[in-house]
Amino acid sequence: MKSILFGSLLCSLFLIDSDGPNYQRWEEYLGGPDRNHYSALTQINTGNVNNLQVAWTYESPDTGQMQMSPIIVNGVLYGVTAGVQAFALDAATGKEIWRFGDPLKAWHSTSRGVAYWSDGKEKRILFTAGPNLWALNATTGKPVETFGKSGAVDLHEGLPRRAQGKFIISNTPGTIFENLIVMPVRVSEGDDAAPGDIRAFDVVTGKLVWTFHTIPYPNEPGLETWGNKSAFQNNEIGGANNWAGMAVDREAGILFVPTGSAAPDFYGNNRKGANLYANCLLALDARTGKRLWHYQFTHHDIWDRDLPAPPNLLQVKRNGAVVDAVAQITKQGYVFVFDRKTGTPLFDIQEMAVPPSTLEEEEAWPTQPVPVLPKPFARQSADLTEKDISPYASNKKELQTLFNSLDKRMYAPPSVEGAFLLPGYDGGAEWGGAAADPSEGILYVNSNEMAWMLQMQPTADSKSAGNLSTGAKIYQKECASCHQPDRSGLAASGFPSLLNIQQRSREFTAQMIEQGKGMMPGFPQITGEARKSLMDFLYGMEKTEKPAYEIMTMTTHNEPLYRHTGYHKFLDSDGLPGIAPPWGTLSAIDLNTGEYRWRVTLGDTESLKGKGNPPTGCENYGGPVSTAGGLLFIAATKDGKFRAFDKKTGALLWETTLPAAGFATPATYEVNGKQYVVVACGGEKLGTPKGNKVVAFVLP
């Protein structure tokens, strides 16, 4: 990778406050180590927000989805482009100061930003591109040669041998604690997944300092929750990774780590049991990685119920006393609240009986935890009836028939017949996370209300055994659940057709297979003749004389009995959600009482709005920002708007149309006495037009 430098050098930077959040600044991901998206700035407030205007616009050199939430340190804004190039801008003007990356080798994953570290002398930006964690000089943008190998550490470092060469990247900035950076990682969600160990690296040298095994090793606590105790060593399971980011209580020295599901998703016959420490909130000693306490939100996850966002560290009042609390939002639409130091739930949690699995060799866990309060911020599939079919659907009878054929029970297990999944695969809550008023105990969370269908099929039925070429077999195994067996894709769900892939160069497609793109993981384990066979199949060039099936080097484990049929949304004939609105919401929840302050629709559907219909809400990705000026700022919506709400009432105070949809969490900061609000506008997700701008707003 090459360093591309532009413009003049930065001025001296200041040390990040190591004792806790500084709400006047925005020097860390999502505003601070507590991940509360909160600012104490008040210059922009409920009385003048309607006067906001564009202060500056930065055009990045590449286009596409930007989930990046920037940080701002001493007047310099740091972020990442759609092609995963790190950059520094003058935060008052948007002028580029430096940019680091190889413009000839764009990474097609998404990045949510960077981390900053300083000891008062050295100042570093840490970010990831592909499998590498880079340390850059914050002033020049050049790699710090003494960190790792020439400025980078391979995120395979410290993982067991079986993980080497497997897909691993990081979409989310690491969490800084003293001289450590603890890294979230994304791994495959299939049966080729690497293990999701939590690892801390020395910020100065790049050396691995500690590891927590989320899939326990022999003789480690938690192993008793795995029925197949040899599965980990036999390369049959992986995952249980933190991909969404973490929060840290620096004063107490506690790191809070939300984890995802064990792999493979949807069918867990090789991982029977509750599966600790998947789907958990882990409270770890930040210096050593030692477990202090944990709570598991989904036992034996077969629904892809990863914890989607960092927790919020805030204070709540309980029995007249102030309690340091940690709140975790979930895809299911629940908020769980705990005492930060002890892990004691602050609201009762009930273990509810759920249905057993009907799939051969699968054993769904018999109960799942549900908090008594707060009530869910998203509708649950079990609560819906035929009356909840969309009133705007022209094919209502067809939707009713499909709706009635699907299992809508709470935690309905994956089956051949199919389950109705609401909240859907992405939530409920998603990676944008929740904002909070940290000393008042109020949580603000946006939610998707998109229903999906979860269905399995016997593996033997998904292909004609013995009649497929090697390339076709690889495609059916690794690609068909998303891009469909006939390569037609699922455009409404974000999975493009591959029928016209010949319009792309073979080099581009090979890069996609190795690195992944957006939601698609990479498949670096498909190499050599296996990759060539897959490419030949996709391009209609596979020879009649087929190479031996054994060249599929990634198939070193047994085929599962069932496979996921793909990510199918419950849509009407016009491509709109098949359930009645709201399709997106924004809620304020008082965590002192567990009661809602308010809930409003978030976003709108232009085709229905034009006919005089009330706001529907819409799909949204990216979180809100809360300010002491009484405002909630949020972009996130498919309709491409940027909005400000009165956080006391939920009233909409201001909105503007962005140059492209802003699927990212905003940031707010002050430079030269002026308060700015900034958001990345990359579009592309949900079929929206691509963009390449970062836009900052200011008062006249």
> In a 3-state reduction of DSSP, which class is residue 163?
helix
Q: What pLDDT score was predicted for residue 502?
A: 75
- Cα 89 to chain centroid distance, Å, stands at 25
| Nearest of 365, 347, 201, 138 to residue 271 by alpha carbon | 365
Cis peptide before 33 (omega within 30 of 0): no
Q: Would you call 674 helix, strand, or coil by DSSP?
A: strand
How far apart, in Å, are the Cα atoms of 686 and each of 247, 492, 494, 518, 647? 29, 7, 6, 12, 27
Could you tell me whether strands 38-39 and 625-627 are parallel, antiparallel, or unpaired per DSSP bridges? Answer: parallel
Helix (H, G, I), strand (E, B) or coil at 109: coil
Asked if 109 contacts 169 with a C-beta cutoff of 8 angstroms, the reply is yes
Token pair recorded at residue 363: 């054993």
Look at residues 638, 641, 617 and name the one whose alpha carbon lies nearest to residue 687.
638
pLDDT along the chain (700 residues), means of 10: 34 42 94 98 98 98 95 98 96 98 71 97 96 97 97 96 92 98 96 95 98 94 90 78 98 98 95 97 98 98 98 96 98 98 98 98 98 98 97 97 97 98 96 97 98 94 60 74 74 72 73 67 72 75 54 53 94 97 98 98 95 96 98 98 98 98 98 98 96 98
In DSSP terms, which residues pair with 183 in a beta bridge? 199
Whole-model pTM?
Answer: 0.91
pLDDT on residue 517: 67
> d(Cα 432, Cα 310) in Å, to the nearest integer?
9
Position 484, amino acid: Q
Backbone angles phi, psi at 24, to 5 degrees: -85, -15
State the pairing for strand pair 652-657/280-285.
Answer: unpaired
Which tokens belong to 190?
Answer: 């299939």
User: Distance (Å, rounded) from C-alpha 198 to C-alpha 565?
Assistant: 31
Other C-beta atoms closer than 10 Å to the C-beta of 540 total 8
CB 521 within 8 A of CB 167: yes
CB contact set of 149 (below 8 Å; sequence gap of 6+): 206
* Per-residue confidence (pLDDT) for residue 14, from 0 to 100: 32
CATH of range 456-565; options 1.10.760.10, 2.60.120.10, 1.10.10.10, 3.40.50.1370 = 1.10.760.10
Q: What residue has token string 């430096």? A: 98
The residues near 695 (Cβ < 8 Å, ≥ 6 apart) are: 54, 56, 57, 58, 658, 659, 678, 679, 681
- Find the farthest-apart pair of alpha carbons in the chain and give their distance in angstroms, rounded: 77
Report residue 520 as tokens. 């698609």
Q: Are 618 and 392 in contact (CB under 8 A)?
A: no
Name which of 681, 266, 204, 647 is nearest 444 in CA terms.
647
Amino acid 478: pLDDT = 73
Residue 565: phi, psi to the nearest 5?
-85, -5
Q: Per-domain residue ranges for the chain?
A: 456-565
- Say which residue the tokens 């930060």 belong to: 340
Q: Give the number of other Cβ atoms within 10 Å of residue 165's Cβ.
A: 15
CB 110 within 8 A of CB 171: yes
pLDDT value of position 549? 41
Element (H, E) at 53: strand 53-59
Helix, strand, or coil (residue 216): coil
Strands 175-177 vs 180-183: parallel, antiparallel or unpaired? antiparallel
Q: Give the span between the Cα atoms of 116 and 176, in whole angstroms.
A: 8
Cis peptide before 614, with omega less than 30 degrees from 0? no
Contact 658, 664 (CB under 8 A): no
For tokens 């037609």, the residue is 488
